[in-house]
Structure 1
Amino acid sequence: MKEMKKKQKKKEGKERPRREKKRETPKKAKPSSGKKSTTVKGTKKNKKQVGWFCHACEEDRMDAMRRCSRCSKWYHEECVGDPTAFGNLQPSENIIDAICDTAKQNDSRNYGPTIGHRDARQAVAEYSAHQGTITADDVILCSGCSHAIDITLSVLANAGQNVLIPRPGYLIHKTLGEGLGIVIKFYDLLPDQNWQVDLESLESQIDENTAAIVVNNPSNPCGSVYTREHLLDIVDVASRNRVPIIADEIYEHLVFSDYKFTAISSVSKDVPVLTCSGVTKRFLIPGWRLGWVIIHDRQNILNKEIRNGLMSLATRILGPNTLIQKALPRILKETPQSFYDDTIRFIESQAKLAYQELQKAPGLRPIMPQGSMYMMIEIKTSLFPKFDNELQFISKMCNEQSVLCIPGKCFNYPNYMRIVLTVPEEILREACLRITQFCEEHMLKKLDNDVVSIVNDEPTRVAAKQNFQKNIA
């Protein structure tokens, strides 16, 4: 028996050899506030720093770590899309109170109507009055915004039909659509015009099999916020081609100063709009999984088929979380404006910080967002000949600097990467410094005239377009 145990331990050691590797620690290190101080691989002087390691990848090759205040695991993840992951952003106290009080009620533990309790749907209708005239009958509650998108795609498009989604864009629409046999087509956004929709690209993708157009505003990953005038242009294209719109507005109201959120349904006179949203982002409770679909069909073009279809599809999960539903009226009505203001003020300050710091990084071009929680950064790969694409760039940066960003390929947009702005300020600042150092160490040292033009952001429009098309292919 002892020999068997020894063999088993030996086998486990072979499977995870990195767990036995000793970490280098600076001499006479004096950790403060209970945080572990470590060295950073890839830096020139092995300067003592504190950072985060992505525990989800289960790899030990990175050194700089800090314990997560929420789950007590070691993390270094600059790409987390969960605004609550780092513990620095907390929901309003009234939200917690509403849940605690509701949990004591017997009806909060029962099965509810599959489309949601009427008082909760009425609360959503009142909360969403900026979208247009809405009643409780226009609202279907879902298990998060992703579930709302799922049933919306299911009811609007049949297998073999196509749905248009933005590029770059969050690919959950692609994942869900292709799982239903729907053909996904892409229309382009314009990075030099604050990621506005390329209207010519949009209209060129529409054909007789197009079932819907997805419009994500504010945008993930771009952080763009569309003006009322631009939304009218988008609606005009949809109206001219008689195609309904799926409005992914989970980041509604997360808009920086000097900008204003406008719901696309509020500017549509004849185009049916199915709006998907929820409490995930604005209320900082993503794990509670409550979203909704709101039907805007002023000319009754969709008739009863779409409503009945959405109701039928909602029965597949027997309705969303009853506890959150019962607390929803209080959450939507009692959360103070100061809570929203503080949240958006913090994210905007983070965006300004990241934009200012990453402008110093040679070979990168950050694009200042107008809202949501993200920033897209162009990687001028011509200046980094060691790497064939942004995936290799980001992987190497992760290995050397312990900073992980989402590659543009994840949004069907090569030569870019996305960062998240909801991390603590000191973590974001440190991440930007490490990204800058990585670029300085790996950028092409000797510059000829062509490369100088790229550094100065002066590539010809034709060459830039050809390079983009080559990477897409």
Structure 2
Amino acid sequence: MSRRTRGRQEWDVRASTLARNTTNTIRNVVENLVVEPNPQKEFIALSIGDPTTFGNLNPPEQVLEAIKESVETAKSRGYAPAKGHLEAREAVAEYSAHQGNVTANDVILSSGASHAIELAITALADSGQNILAPRPGFMIYQTLAEGLGITVKYYNLLPDEQWKVDIDDLESQIDEDTAAIVVINPSNPCGSVYDKDHLVEILDVASRNHVPIIADEIYEHFAFSGHKFHAISSLSKDVPILTCSGLTKRFLVPGWRMGWVIIHDRHNIFGKEIRKGLNNLATRILGPSVLVQLALPNILKYTPQSFFDDVILFIENQAKSAYEVLRRAPGLRPIMPQGAMYMMIGIQMSLFPTIKNEIQFVERLVKEQSVFCLPGKCFEYPNYMRIVLTVPEEYLREACQRIILFCKEHVDYGDKRKEIENDDVTVTNTIEVLSESDISVHP
């Protein structure tokens, strides 16, 4: 006896709209690069934003001990409330006091800072709306938003002003469908650290246009000497803010996937709806690792300040070293960072006539010198590349020397300049001699 089928007549299994429309710009660019290193030279990757990659930076013993104690606790093996255990959220609230008045009720724990960003975006924006993100900027916002039908619009940063926000451009991007403004401070990939006055300018735009802010502050404690980090939430008079941060960078444990969203809403503009929405969204994965949650109070309380100071000093010295070397590279324009762990380097493509664009520049740098940097296309910013500063000192020094050698072998000043002497290029300051038009600062 045959049975009548109620389903399809043949197999037709397709990926969902979300799956089809989700892309990761960095992964897409990197996977399509032709990166076969020079077998005669050790490969040096200045591309990965993971401070633990080379093994030279490790968490302190206090952090590891906190996890060991958590392993022995029976409570660490069970489920937690979706937004996180109370004692963990209380610890985050105390740790984040510099952001303003924060209580445990304002904290939602997440599986890393990227998940915190996803919670913030999906709590504030619907399909058909848009969020504003910086260019150049961390492209996870595009990855998380566009699959949901949320458009990412970009506002420009100004390389000649230490990557400050172009305030006029920011405001011009806002329309009635703008659900949030993303502010990344300190910046990935630029390494900028905004002062109070500039943050107030950004807040003024948000306030005039009644648009909330998503503050990406994962590098909140990564400010170099002479610069001070200010949480944008601590300066806001009326703009509601969702701040995203976590353990990842400062505590050198990105693989532990522990982040958080903090709600700042002095005038109850978000009301109960956004808080409830965030709580609802947290139930989708039932919270991050309980093992790490139970270790959080001890991690946040007992990690010595000397550990943080040493890490920041190392990265700052790396930045200074790389800047001093690469500013002598013909055709390059490094921009000294003020914090975080990256440096953006402008490439005067007109001086490299045999190289089509920054992607090909990066490919040939790998092929000839076995040094891998991320091309500006990964950050929606052509004619630049980004390097990571957390690699061991000897690797960074060697990589910078190879980059200089590569530039000397391929630079062609043409009619602009012909002061090439033997193996050295006479560069008093190439940037002063050449036109600013040689580097495209706006895509």
Residues 310-389 of structure 1 mapped to structure 2, 5 A cutoff: 310-389=278-357
Percent of pairs identical after alignment? 61
Shift of 1:384: 0.3
Partner of 2:152: 184
User: Is 1:217 paired with 2:180?
Assistant: no
After TM superposition, the structure 1 = structure 2 runs for residues 175-324 of structure 1, keeping only pairs within 5 Å, are 175-324=143-292
Structure-to-structure mapping, 1:18-37, within 5 angstroms: none
2:387 corresponds to which letter in structure 1?
Answer: I
Residue 453 (structure 1) shift: 12
Contact kept in structure 2, 1:122 and 1:135, CA below 8 Å? yes
Task: Give the gaps of 5 or more residues in structure 2.
Answer: 1-29, 420-426
Matched with 1:70 is none
* Secondary structure of 1:231's aligned partner: helix
3-state SS of 1:317 partner = coil
CA distance in 1, matches of 2:164, 2:37: 40
SS in structure 2 of the partner of residue 457 of structure 1: helix
Instruction: State the distance in 1 between where 2:441 and 2:36 align.
Output: 35
CA offsets per residue over residues 266-319 of structure 1, 9 Å max, x none? Answer: 000100000000000000000000000000000000101100000000111111
- Contact kept, 8 Å, 2:37 with 2:369, in 1: the verdict is no
SS at match of 2:171: helix
- Confirm or deny that 1:63 pairs with 2:31: no
Q: Where does residue 409 of structure 1 map in the other structure?
A: 377
Provide the rounded CA distance (Å) in 1 between the counterparts of 2:174 and 2:93.
Answer: 32
* Alignment match of 1:99 (pick from 30, 43, 67): 67
- Cα distance in structure 1, aligned partners of 2:148 and 2:267: 28
Give the alignment of 1:65-144 within 5 angstroms: 76-144=44-112
Q: Please list the CA deviations of residues 431-450 of structure 1 after superposition, one character each: whole Å capped at 9, or x if unmatched.
A: 00000000000000543369
Q: Which residue of 2 is the match for residue 148 of structure 1?
A: 116
Q: How many residues align?
A: 407
* Contact map agreement 1:380 1:454 (CA 8 A) in 2: no
| DSSP 3-state at the match of 2:45 | coil
2:428 and 2:104 mapped to 1: Cα distance? 57
Alpha-carbon shift at residue 455 of structure 1 (Å): 3.2
Which structure exhibits the higher relative contact order, with contacts defined as CA atoms closer than 8 Å and separated by 6 or more residues?
2
Who is 1:35 aligned against? none
Select which of 457, 467, 470 maps to 2:432.
457
Shift, 1:459, TM fit = 5.3
Secondary structure of the structure 2 residue equivalent to 1:274: strand
Structure 1 runs not aligned, ≥5 long: 1-53, 67-74
The answer to whether residue 396 in structure 2 is matched with residue 428 in structure 1 is yes
Q: What displacement does 1:464 show?
A: 6.1
The separation in 1 between residues aligned to 2:336 and 2:173, in whole angstroms, is 28
Deviation at 1:175, TM superposition (A): 1.1
Residues 212 and 61 (structure 1 numbering): CA distance in 2 closer, same or farther, change over 3 Å?
closer
Give the 3 Å change call, closer, same or farther, for CA 61–374 of structure 1 in structure 2.
closer
- In 2 relative to 1, CA 98–243 (structure 1 residues): closer, same or farther, beyond 3 Å? same
RMSD: 2.2
One-letter amino acid matched to 2:406: F
Question: Aligned with 1:330: secondary structure?
Answer: helix
Note closer, same or farther for the CA distance 1:102–1:228 as it changes in structure 2 (3 Å cut).
same
Aligned partners of 2:375, 2:34: CA distance in 1, in Å? 19
TM-score, normalisation: structure 2 = 0.88
Corresponding residue for residue 29 of structure 1: none
Shift of residue 58 of structure 1? 11
* 1:441 aligned partner: 409
Q: Is 1:397–2:373 an aligned residue pair? A: no
Q: Distance in 1 between matches of 2:393 and 2:182?
A: 33
What amino acid maps onto 2:430 in structure 1? V
State the distance in 2 between where 1:81 and 1:163 align. Answer: 24
TM-score (norm 1): 0.83
